[in-house]
Each structure stands twice: as C-alpha cells, then as structure tokens.
A and B are shown apart, each in its own frame.
Chain A
C-alpha cells in the first residue's frame, strides 16, 4: 500500500532560519503530492501541491519539488517567521479506486515546527 514518511519533530528554529522538512513516499502509479499545515486549534489547510514529476509547488514562501527519482517532496522555506509555527503534514493522493470516484489520501505523521524570536 501507499505510505508517507516525514521527519519527526519537533523542529525548533530561530526566526529567519532556513527550513527543510523531509518527506518521502511509496506509491504505485503517479500520485499527486501535497503539504498541509495545521495551526494550533484549527483543521488542516492546503499549503501547496504538485501533480507530476519535477513540478514545484509554492505558497507563502514555502516550496516543494516533486522528485520521482528519489520519491521525495521536501518542504523548504528560506526564512521562517514566528507565525509559521504549526504542524506540517505531507500527503499523497493516488488514482486507486478511480472507478468509484474516490481517491485515497495518505498522510504522514506530521512535523511540528516551532519558530522562536
């Protein structure tokens, strides 16, 4: 079956530091890849996505590139802010079950990021 592995947290960085959160996946076929962010007390929000190899998703200064050869989708940001403190989830969506109109989404376990002033 599909799986998503992301680096364990928590990750603690100082403001303006460079961020990398690693994510690797196992999937059959050609999944779409996502990063979601969960701020304290809230549900998950889509941060960025990539739907095919070498696509780069970007949003709010965050970037991730779909690397099929290494089955990775690492999240990066050049200069983090205190407001980026949240839990980040890597996820994939495959085409299994398409006949039923359903795409299963598999999540990683989440990485908590804490940015200190």
Chain B
C-alpha cells in the first residue's frame, strides 16, 4: 500500500519565520499535491507537482512555494509565516488515473 509521510503532526511557529513542511511518498507516484484544510472550506489546493522540478500553482498559492528535487519528496515552504496560515496541511500522492493517497496531515499554528 502507498505510504505518504508528513514530517510533523503538529508544528508551532512564529510570524515572519520561514517554515518548511516535508512530505515523502514511497511508491514512485508522479503527482504530488499540497492542500490546506480549514473548517467550512474543505480542501483547497495550494500547489501540485507532476514531475521532478515541475510545479503548478493551485487555487491558493499566495504566500507559499514548493520544491520537488526528488520524485519521492515534495516540500511546502511558507516564505514568511503569517497567522492566517494557521491550518491543517495535507500532502497527497497520486499515479495518473488512480485515486490520491494522503498523509496524516500537519497541524500548523502560527503565533
């Protein structure tokens, strides 16, 4: 079974910090995604990647960037964290024509 691992379950950072969220998948899937989940808003796509070094903006990319230097790893970067980026962040991996596989999420608090 596909395993998607997010580096932290809970993270607390301060405003203005640069924050890195890491995601690793073990099944050589081409597509990887970063979402944030907020009450009443469901999942909103931040960025996705369909290959190494390839990235595309999702619906809410502002304030975020991503890095995919290796196929198995997809990093989400908050360049200068702000309180409105407090949220649950979910990483997913997917093979074409197959469903997504999700990590357990990182609950990020920005103080």
Shortest distance from the beta carbon of B103 to any chain A beta carbon, whole Å = 5
Query: With A46-B99, A102-B50 in contact, is A109–B90 under 8 Å at CB?
Result: no
Residues in B1-52 with C-beta less than 8 Å from chain A: 4, 30-31, 33, 35, 40-43, 45, 48, 50-51
* Bound CA span A93–B45, Å: 13
* Bound CA span A102–B30, Å: 9
* Bound CA span A104–B48, Å: 9
Among residues of A, the one whose C-beta sits closest to the C-beta of B91 is A43
Q: On chain B, which size bracket covers the interface? A: 20 to 34
Query: With A103-B97, A109-B41 in contact, is A42–B104 under 8 Å at CB?
Result: yes
Number of A-B contacts (CB under 8 A): 57
* Bound CA span A5–B76, Å: 28
- A107 engages B102 (CB within 8 Å): no
B102: chain A residues at CB < 8 Å are 36, 43-45
Residues in A58-117 with C-beta less than 8 Å from chain B: 89, 93, 98, 100-105, 107-110
Pick from B4, B33, B54, B56: contact of A105, CB below 8 A. Answer: B33
Among residues of A, the one whose C-beta sits closest to the C-beta of B49 is A102
* Bound CA span A42–B103, Å: 8
Among residues of A, the one whose C-beta sits closest to the C-beta of B9 is A41
Interface membership of A25, Cβ < 8 A: no
Chain A contact residue count (CB 8 A cutoff): 23
* Bound CA span A96–B48, Å: 14
- A89 engages B43 (CB within 8 Å): yes
Among residues of B, the one whose C-beta sits closest to the C-beta of A48 is B99
A43: chain B residues at CB < 8 Å are 4, 90, 102-105
Query: Nearest 7 CB-CB pairs, A to B?
Result: A109-B42, A43-B102, A102-B50, A107-B43, A44-B102, A43-B104, A46-B99
Q: Can you spell out 20 A-B residue pairs with CB atoms less than 8 angstroms apart? A: A34-B99, A36-B102, A42-B105, A43-B104, A44-B92, A45-B102, A46-B101, A93-B99, A100-B50, A100-B54, A100-B56, A101-B50, A102-B31, A102-B48, A102-B56, A103-B96, A103-B97, A104-B45, A105-B45, A105-B94
